[in-house]
Amino acid sequence: MYQSSKSLFERAQQSIPGGVNSPVRAFKSVGGTPVFIKSAKGAYMVDEDGNQYIDYINSWGPMVLGHAYEPVVKAIQAKVALGTSFGAPTELEIEIAELIKSMVPNVDLIRMVNSGTEACMSAVRLARGYTGRNKIIKFEGCYHGHADCFLVKAGSGVATFGIQHVPGVTAAVANDTLTCAYNDLNAVKALFANNKEEIAAIIIEPVAGNMGCIPPAEGFLEGLRSLCTEMGSLLIFDEVMTGFRLAKGGAQERLKIDADLVCYGKVIGAGMPVGAFGGRKEIMEHIAPLGNVYQAGTLSGNPLAMIAGYTLLHELKTNTDRFSSIEKKADYLKDGLIKVLDASGFPYRINHLGSMLSIHFSENDITDFEAAASANNARFNQFFHAMLKRGIYLPPSAFETWFISDALSYEDLDKTIEAAKEALAEIE
């Protein structure tokens, strides 16, 4: 069933570390061979052996409207013949900045970068430059990319592989990253009390997606907002997953909280390599060339990435029914999964907000990293493989969220629920 993937994986390991260019793809924690993808269209991906999958990863979020969304493909095709990179400004960069500003009201200025990592790393540097303080608070199990300051109690692959201390991250850098449990406002208050006037920013996934999906508890984000205002620290929302997915204006709009800085990722390029960070003018104007907080990128604002992102975001802005359509599908899937999970007898929790969803096999509510880590993740790994062989492509770790796209049909969702029923009957 996976013969071509198997031989490609063997070959890949001869020239690429672990055979992959990003660790979670290696299926290391779930075991087995990663499937090598040949093509994708709408809700489906096809691997090198010709197996077709209903996709719940969606390139880790950005394919809100599905793969190879036709207007995006056509826009890229039209643009590519005009040149692939100039290293000079273009009108299109203004157009996408204006479009984002019209969708996210508290963004006055926005700077394009090339990945979610760069966006978060740059936002933290800016927060430090703006406040003149060094420390940041991040939450256990949140992932903000692989910049040194974030590789402390991180989620996603760092959690999947159980890496406690990342070699190469110096103690000096790690010491400036303070951590506490997600959803624990008192712990954040204690960090502020013990580090008076030292905290530049809190960075948070407003809906966590890198330890499975963990929505914020009632009052948690509001509490962070008022603490930051009171303490003169900046609140940074990492909306790499939630941006332009939970609502037109992302988690800020959906949860009615204004962050000081906001970071976006791959969705801004409709899956092309892009990120961005933005915020209020008085903060953003500290960035070079207006200010001295330096940040740059040869490929930033790349025309192909910009036209792809512009086309997707424009559709999401003009057709906001898309968001309710995706959410209805997510609700339908959740209800169906609950039925088959209840019938299976396994203890479980489904966390869900908007079009983000995850299952943990646990008797306890999953509200932070510790709870996610103490779930029966070995059972999740079995579930993953039982689903994969039935043509359902889930994230290969319980420390990841599933993403619903609007390309999914109700028939696809029914197939997924039926596959889950069979998979649950097969696993232990």
What does the binding site for ligand PMP look like in residue numbers (CB under 6 A)?
60, 115-117, 120, 143-145, 205, 209-210, 238, 240-241, 265-266, 275
For residue 14, give every residue at least 6 positions away whose Cβ sits within 8 Å of its Cβ, in sequence order, or none.
none
Q: Pick between residue 299 and residue 378 the one whose CB is nearest to ligand PMP.
A: 299
Q: Pick between residue 210 and residue 252 the one whose CB is nearest to ligand PMP.
A: 210
DSSP 200-268: EEEEE-SSB-SSS-BPPPTTHHHHHHHHHHHHT-EEEEE-TTTTTTSSTTHHHHHHT---SEEEE-GGG
CB distance 357 to 401 below 8 Å? yes
Cα angle, residue 326 at apex, residues 320 and 327 outer, rounded to 5°: 100
**Burial readout 192-224 (b: 16 or more C-beta within 10 A, e: otherwise):** beebeebbbbbbbbbbbbbbbbbbbeeebbebb
Choosing from 47, 55, 176, 238, the catalytic residue is 238
Q: Is 238 a catalytic residue?
A: yes
For the CB of residue 210, give the shortest distance to ligand PMP in the complex, in Å.
5
Q: Pick between residue 238 and residue 412 the one whose CB is nearest to ligand PMP.
A: 238
For the CB of residue 32, give the shortest distance to ligand PMP in the complex, in Å.
22
What's the half-sphere exposure (Cβ side, CA atoms, 13 Å) at 256?
A: 2
For the CB of residue 25, give the shortest distance to ligand PMP in the complex, in Å.
12
Helix (H, G, I), strand (E, B) or coil at 16: coil
**Signed CA dihedral, 148, 152, 156, 160: sign only:** positive
177-180 vs 135-139, strand pairing mode: parallel
CB distance 197 to 211 below 8 Å? no
Q: State which H helix or E strand residue 428 sits in.
A: none
Q: And the tokens for 312?
A: 């997707």
Q: Pick between residue 302 and residue 382 the one whose CB is nearest to ligand PMP.
A: 302
For the CB of residue 240, give the shortest distance to ligand PMP in the complex, in Å.
3
Q: Is 266 a catalytic residue?
A: yes
Q: And the tokens for 91?
A: 């009108």
Q: Pick between residue 140 and residue 238 the one whose CB is nearest to ligand PMP.
A: 238
Choosing from 135, 153, 266, 329, the catalytic residue is 266
Residue, CB closest to ligand PMP: 116
CB distance 210 to 159 below 8 Å? yes
Angstrom distance (rounded) from CA 347 to CA 103: 40
Choosing from 2, 44, 56, 143, the catalytic residue is 143
Q: Pick between residue 127 and residue 413 the one whose CB is nearest to ligand PMP.
A: 127
DSSP 46-104: EETTS-EEEESSGGGTT-TT-BT-HHHHHHHHHHHTT-S--SS--HHHHHHHHHHHHHS
Q: State which H helix or E strand residue 321 sits in.
A: helix 321-344
For the CB of residue 49, give the shortest distance to ligand PMP in the complex, in Å.
27
For the CB of residue 67, give the shortest distance to ligand PMP in the complex, in Å.
17
Q: Is 143 a catalytic residue?
A: yes
Angstrom distance (rounded) from CA 304 to CA 5: 30
Q: Pick between residue 179 and residue 382 the one whose CB is nearest to ligand PMP.
A: 179
Q: Pick between residue 297 and residue 391 the one whose CB is nearest to ligand PMP.
A: 297
For the CB of residue 346, give the shortest distance to ligand PMP in the complex, in Å.
27
Active site residues: 143, 238, 266
